[in-house]
Amino acid sequence: MDGADWLRTQLTAFGCASCGRAYSPGRIQILAQREELFFVDLGCETCGTQAVAVVTVQLDESEAFHAETGELEPARPGTGDTPVTVPPVGTDDVLDMSRFLARFDGDFGALFRGREPDGS
């Protein structure tokens, strides 16, 4: 098993930053390798979140690979093969969004500060 395959296997133990579900090997792509650095694209099958990570892989004294994964979090227990259920978008959701968009003036700063776009 080469370094890229080994790394892909190791990264399946880490979870998506958004939903916590473990990454599957098919959604982990090695973008580039520069000596001990791997640039990795991680895609979550559950929520669709994409992330790019830089992972350092070094041989330890036993000449086994060891990965430094930085800020990647281990997968949350119980999230490995359990799909996250998200309720479907309903009629009320569509009507609420339509009403919101009808009065939204494009001021995302105000929106993210928690105020309504009309200043209320």
- In a domain, residue 68? The reply is yes
**pTM recorded for the entire structure:** 0.48
Q: What is the pLDDT of residue 34?
A: 82
- In a domain, residue 80? The reply is no
Same domain, 16 and 47: yes
Same domain, 68 and 99: no
Q: What are 22-66's pLDDT values in tens digits?
A: 888 889 998 988 877 888 999 988 888 888 888 887 665 655 555
The domain of 41 spans 3-74
Query: Poorest-confidence range of 7-16, 25-34, 69-78?
Result: 69-78
Q: How many residues does the chain have?
A: 120
Same domain, 30 and 59: yes
- In a domain, residue 82? The reply is no
Same domain, 21 and 59: yes
In the predicted structure, residue 97 carries a pLDDT above the cut 80: yes
Same domain, 98 and 67: no
- In a domain, residue 79? The reply is no
Per-residue DSSP letters for 40-83? Answer: EEEE-TTT--EEEEEEEEEE-TTS-EEEE-TTPEEPPTT-SS-P
Q: What is the pLDDT of residue 76?
A: 59
Same domain, 20 and 43: yes
Strand order of the β-sheet with 65-68 is 28-34, 37-43, 50-59, 65-68
Nearest to 39 by CA among 51, 23, 21, 27: 51
Domain count, the chain: 2
Same domain, 100 and 65: no
